[in-house]
Amino acid sequence: MKLVSSTSLAIAVPLAAVLLASPAGHAADRSAEDRWPGWRGDGQGRADAARLPLEWTAARNVAWKTEIPGRGHSSPIVWGDRLFLTTAIEGDVVPGAKAVKHVAEGQEFVHPDATGADRRHAFKLLALDAKDGRVLWERTAWEGTPVDSRHKKASFASPTAATDGERVYAYFGSEGLYAYDFEGKLAWKFDPGVVGTMGVGVGTSPLLYRDLVILLCDEDNGERSYLVALDRHTGKEAWRVLRKIEVSWATPVIVPAAGRDELVTAGNQLVQAYDPATGRELWRMKGLESNAVTTPLVGDGVVVVSSGYPSKISIAVKPGGSGDVTDSPQVLWRYNKGSAYVPSPILYEGHVYLLTDKGLLTCLDARTGEVRYEGGRPPVPASFMASPVAVNGHLLLMSQDGDTLIVKAGPRFEVVRTNPLGEPISASAAVAGGRLYIRGEKHLFAIAAPAGS
């Protein structure tokens, strides 16, 4: 087991993807531009938003800001005029409460930066009006002392929720998956059992596929890891697949390939693709041999999986294979520099952009892996946990200093401007309805051009 070092984060932002086969239910007539239904929208962080300004400050081009209680690194999701967000409220110490036991290499393991399992918490889902930021309702999904700890820099509300326009699916690891309708009524809940994360917190988010909600529940040493699909209407299991994969934080993605859909998972031991309708394995390859945290990229006929700790590695695979493709032509290229531990990379307009945790940017050709540039530096030293989004020919890189770097997309590194917001940013942004939604440490901001501009 490759353990997280005491000086590094295992996970601080949710790493997930959501694919909606078709819009349904509430506000079903909304255009795709008005929806950002899960982690990085459709899992890939790309948007077209012609009205979105590329310059702002805490006082300029902010349509509204709303204080969000508690602590959370999950992203906002949007469907029409509704916006949803999860958070975790920490309470008092509970004498005797402690995290589930972890074992590494035959010995009991306690992560030196683990915290929170000895305190009472409330895990909540909030609904906001996307027009003005008013909190419409909040629901407490779960209360108690958590099964496991979190990293001191992470959050118990790291997985991003997902919506299909009828319900919102909020996941809190061992504490459950909860399905609410748009008015805040609980439709059903699912108990995943103990999903141990070596004491640093859960990161995978719900993935929607047709009438299924899919969860990746890799835990600790892989003795009880599994992948499960639930009926989104009832919460009943449609299929479950056991996996001998150590704890991972990288949510699967749906990949269209060779006339079929593939559910691609990244892991330490294996990278695997399944039939998302049945759970049947389609192909596999040797894994990252490092902590699987970042979301796989999909586009230009490739899937790119990567890891930044303990080794830096990015691998591009052509989907549509069968059996073990490790040493086959399906593996298109490898690159062993520039990848991050926490922020996911992004694939945009034919290029893969790798962002390190310190903000160094590398650009590769998505199909060939050819290096366009390496080590593009931010204007000032900074740390990054949020994953980039791509909008209108630009990459938006958000730092823990509260700055957003606007970088021109393409084979030459160019920082167009730096936009300060005034509070740390750890969560990845959402784009919908011509607005950019940024979750800071204390507030949710809506960035938009002034009316009439």
Residue 60's pLDDT band, with cuts at 50, 70 and 90, is very high
Cα 191 from Cα 270, distance rounded (Å): 26
| pLDDT at residue 25 tops 50 | no
b/e sequence 109-145, b meaning 16+ C-beta within 10 Å: bebebbbbbbeebbbbbbbbebeebebeeebebbeeb
Pair 177, 170: CB distance under 8 Å? yes
The number of beta carbons lying within 10 Å of the beta carbon of residue 191 is 9
**124-147 mean pLDDT:** 98
Cα 365 from Cα 374, distance rounded (Å): 12
User: For the chain, what is the mean pLDDT?
Assistant: 92
User: How do residues 368-409 score in pLDDT, each as one tens digit?
Assistant: 999 999 999 999 999 999 999 999 999 999 999 999 999 999
pLDDT of 114: 97
pLDDT of 370: 98
Q: What is the percentage of the chain residues whose pLDDT exceeds 70?
A: 92
Residue pointed to by tokens 């479950």: 240
- The three state secondary structure string of the chain is CCCCCCCCCCCCCCECCCCCCCCCCCCCCCCHHHEECCCHHHHCCEECCCCCCCCCCCCCCEEEEEECCCECCCCCEEECCEEEEEEEEEEEECCCCCCCCCEECCEECCCCCEECCCEEEEEEEEEEECCCCCEEEEEEEEEECCCCCEECCCCCCCCCCEECCCEEEEECHHHCEEEEECCCCEEEEECCCCCCCCCCCCCECCEEECCEEEEEECCCCCCCCEEEEEECCCCCEEEEEECCCCCCCCCCEEEEECCEEEEEECCCCEEEEECCCCCCEEEEEECCCCCCCCCCEEECCEEEEEECCCCCEEEEECCCCCEECCCCCCEEEEECCCCCCCCCCEEECCEEEEECCCCCEEEEECCCCCEEEEEECCCCCCCCCCCCEEECCEEEEECCCCEEEEEECCCCCCEEEEEECCCCECCCCEEECCEEEEEECCEEEEECCCCCC
Contacts of 409 (CB under 8 A, 6+ apart): 348, 349, 351, 353, 390, 393, 394, 395
Residue 20's pLDDT band, with cuts at 50, 70 and 90, is very low
pLDDT of 14: 35
Burial of 50 (0-12, 13-18, 19+ CB in 10 A): exposed
Closest CA to 319 of 361, 359, 262, 277: 262
Query: Cα 427 vs. chain centroid, distance in angstroms?
Result: 9
Cα 333 from Cα 348, distance rounded (Å): 17
For residues 21 and 326, the model is more confident at 326
For residues 332 and 106, the model is more confident at 332
Q: What is the pTM of this model?
A: 0.93
pLDDT of 298: 97
User: How do residues 289-314 score in pLDDT, each as one tens digit?
Assistant: 999 999 999 999 999 999 999 999 99
Pair 424, 407: CB distance under 8 Å? no
| pLDDT at residue 6 tops 50 | no
pLDDT of 150: 97
